[in-house]
Amino acid sequence: MKRLRKAYLTKGLLALLASFGPGMVQGAEALKIGVSLPTQAEEHWVRDKKAMEEKAKQLGVDLRVQITNNDSARQTSQVENLLAQGIQVLIVAPHDSESARGIVDKAKKMGVKVIAYDRLITHAPVDLYIAIDNVHVGELQGEYLAQRVPRGKYILLAGSPTDHNALLYREGALKKLKPLIDSGAIDVIADQPVKDWQPAEAQKIVEQALTKSGNKVDGILAPNDGTAGGAIQALAAQRLAGKVVVTGQDAELAAINRILKGTQSMTVFKNSPKMSGLAVEMAVKMAKKEPLTEPTTMVENGPFRVPALLFQGQIIEKKDIDPVLIRSGYFSEQEVYRR
């Protein structure tokens, strides 16, 4: 009878522990992974944070996330705090790709591995870089514009000057557009970066360009959906929304709604939740000193060559919304069509 009672107690205890999940079972022994993200003001960063947290819960990882609100000094301070908490690996999407090398230096001195996520950290010995192929994204945007508006007046918006990705998007886009610009087929009436990727800043740039050109514009290179939204607001005020080809990136729900309405022409889908989940998986492997997934390429970030896992983007037009975004479960039909 005593043996039977002991067996039931053991089974009950195991069931109770299992109900807490892997993170609770490991308790203080759970791996500590630090994450530093630039913002939660953009939909794709909200999705990334959620996907990282879900993957960490699945793997039983103690994930500690900090949001910088697009402030480099704040990001440095927050990372210092994460390092003081004893994290074993740091996943960081830098607000400023150049100044973030100081973050890497601090982590390295404490023996902490660093994964640059979505945005490359320049001039720093990063252990792994996980992102979309940013040059290819720019190529998709540039080629799309060149095919639909081979002649005309263009506004070229670039991303934040502090974000290395902005340079890569522009590099890719100009591969397709520069021959037309050099030939005179494309007349660039404005060419400016957008501070911190802010839609309001993009709106101001487009408003000023429209005033200068007498509302004559045929194409707008918008590097992401936020800047596309700002540009389209400026166009709408002049009753030009839907009459100008406008690019985008991130497949945000607001952008999908604009594509359905015909005011935004396209976006580039990156499936960033898949990337963010992979970042957590790679961080766990690093912490356990296990072999990593083979990098797809090596990228140069100044004096260093960094192993990189790069994903390919996909153009989304109106015809692609159902087969690509809804059938895959990325968005529900209700989310897309309720507005």
Domain spans of the chain, in order of start = 21-132+271-310, 134-270+315-337
Determine the Cα–Cα distance for residues 324 and 339; give it in Å rounded to an integer.
19
CATH number of 134-270+315-337: 3.40.50.2300
Contact 123, 101 (CB under 8 A): yes
pTM: 0.85
Q: Beta strands 113-117 and 128-132: pairing type?
A: parallel
Determine the Cα–Cα distance for residues 248 and 224; give it in Å rounded to an integer.
4
Determine the Cα–Cα distance for residues 241 and 259; give it in Å rounded to an integer.
11
Q: Beta strands 186-193 and 219-221: pairing type?
A: unpaired
130 has which bridge partners? 117, 309
Contact 202, 231 (CB under 8 A): yes
Give the architecture-level CATH label for domain 21-132+271-310: 3-Layer(aba) Sandwich (3.40)
Would the CATH topology of 21-132+271-310 be identical to that of 134-270+315-337? Answer: yes
Give the three-class secondary structure for 300.
strand
Interval 140-185: pLDDT, tens: 999 999 999 999 999 999 999 999 999 999 999 999 999 999 999 9
Contact 298, 308 (CB under 8 A): yes
Determine the Cα–Cα distance for residues 53 and 219; give it in Å rounded to an integer.
39
Interval 257-316: pLDDT, tens: 999 999 999 999 988 888 999 999 999 999 999 998 888 899 999 899 999 999 999 999
Side chain identity at 166, as an amino acid letter?
Answer: A
